[in-house]
């Protein structure tokens, strides 16, 4: 069985993560220079341009005036929303590698819901700066699973099949099959590809006890639990326990868990980024 170093040497020269995605994730917050850079980077992907134009002209966003180019799209939707959409569109292609429905349903769908729930939680707690970071970090937290799936797709689908039919954790099954788990693999791959430090730390939060995670990591972790409780990813035996741990550490007063989760699910279904994902 290969070691972490051997796996890294296997993926070093693979373009698992598109260079455009890495550069988009590294753009500074909304300013004139980054606005122009985002416009240039998006223009290089005709399929993405078509999707964004379609969305900007949809009844959900349209104000009666059609938009025809990326500058108008970014102006209408906002820099941060478009950057998140670029990340979603490009990570969609990563999760689709191998065309395994099981992988897409268990990992991609969970990652999208987790990212959007994390954004919603940040906005509710008035963490405006962290809100957009939360969605990209939520998406990229499962990078290790993308990598393991790329290294051996047949093996990873076998891991997912066993995960969905037993009470054994996905991390345990990954370790058994590959000798490393997706937390280790994701952190090492993110460092190899020089991803932003905030993404690396959010991946590393996954392997830490809840109380030792960063504040953003706790929000994303709680969002992941909500995602599972709303059917985005398999619920595990400790899902309810984790809900209570995160609720406590985040200082949230929740009288009825079912009502709270249902309310969040309704917000997810009407979220523009979630609607965008349904077009991918």
pLDDT tens across 192-208, in order?
988 888 889 999 999 99
Instruction: Identify the three-state secondary structure at position 26.
Output: coil
Q: What is the structure's pLDDT at 181?
A: 95
Sign of CA dihedral 48, 64, 272, 202: positive
Q: What is the structure's pLDDT at 95?
A: 64
Please give the model's pTM, rounded to 2 decimal places: 0.84
Domain boundaries, the chain: 4-17+99-277
User: Which residue stretches of the chain have pLDDT < 50?
Assistant: 99
Number of H helices, E strands in the chain: 18, 0
Alpha carbons 18 and 31: distance in angstroms, whole number: 24
CATH superfamily, region 4-17+99-277: Hypothetical protein af1432 (1.10.3210.10)
Q: What is the structure's pLDDT at 62?
A: 67
Q: What is the structure's pLDDT at 114?
A: 94
Q: What is the structure's pLDDT at 78?
A: 79
Sign of CA dihedral 275, 276, 279, 280: negative
Residues 151 and 186: beta-carbon distance below 8 Å: no
Query: Reduced to 3 DSSP states, what percent helix, strand and coil does the chain have, rounded to the nearest 5?
Result: 70, 0, 30
**Residue 24: count of CB within 10 angstroms of its CB:** 21
Residues 162 and 168: beta-carbon distance below 8 Å: yes
Contacts of 196 (CB under 8 A, 6+ apart): 25, 26
Q: What is the structure's pLDDT at 58?
A: 75
- Within 13 Å, how many C-alpha atoms sit on residue 249's CB side? 20
Q: What is the structure's pLDDT at 96?
A: 62
- Angle between helical axes of 70-77 and 32-43 (0-180°, round to 10): 130
């Amino acid at each position: 069985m290969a070691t972490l170093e051997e796996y890294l040497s296997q993926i070093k020269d693979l373009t698992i993560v598109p260079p455009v995605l890495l550069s988009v994730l590294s753009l500074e917050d909304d300013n004139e220079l980054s606005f122009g850079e985002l416009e240039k980077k998006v223009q290089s992907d005709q399929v993405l341009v078509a999707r964004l134009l379609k969305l900007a002209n949809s009844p959900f966003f349209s104000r009666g005036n059609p938009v025809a180019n990326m500058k108008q799209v970014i102006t209408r939707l906002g820099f941060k929303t478009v950057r998140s959409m670029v990340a979603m569109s490009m990570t969609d292609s990563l999760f689709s590698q191998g065309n395994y429905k099981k992988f897409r349903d268990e990992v991609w769908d969970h990652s999208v819901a987790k990212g959007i729930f994390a954004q919603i939680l940040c906005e509710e707690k008035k963490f405006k700066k962290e809100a957009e970071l939360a969605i990209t970090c939520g998406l990229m937290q499962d990078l290790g699973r993308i990598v393991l799936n790329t290294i051996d797709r047949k093996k990873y689908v076998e891991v997912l099949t066993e995960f969905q039919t037993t009470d054994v954790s996905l991390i345990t099954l990954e370790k058994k099959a590959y000798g490393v788990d997706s937390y280790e693999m994701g952190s090492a791959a993110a460092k190899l590809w020089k991803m932003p430090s905030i993404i690396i730390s959010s991946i590393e939060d996954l392997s830490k006890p809840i109380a030792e995670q960063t504040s953003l990591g706790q929000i994303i972790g709680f969002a992941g639990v909500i995602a599972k409780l709303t059917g985005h990813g398999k619920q595990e035996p400790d899902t309810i326990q984790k809900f209570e741990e995160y609720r406590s550490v985040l200082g949230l007063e929740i009288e009825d868990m079912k009502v709270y989760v249902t309310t969040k699910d309704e917000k997810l279904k009407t979220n523009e980024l979630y609607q965008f994902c349904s077009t991918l």
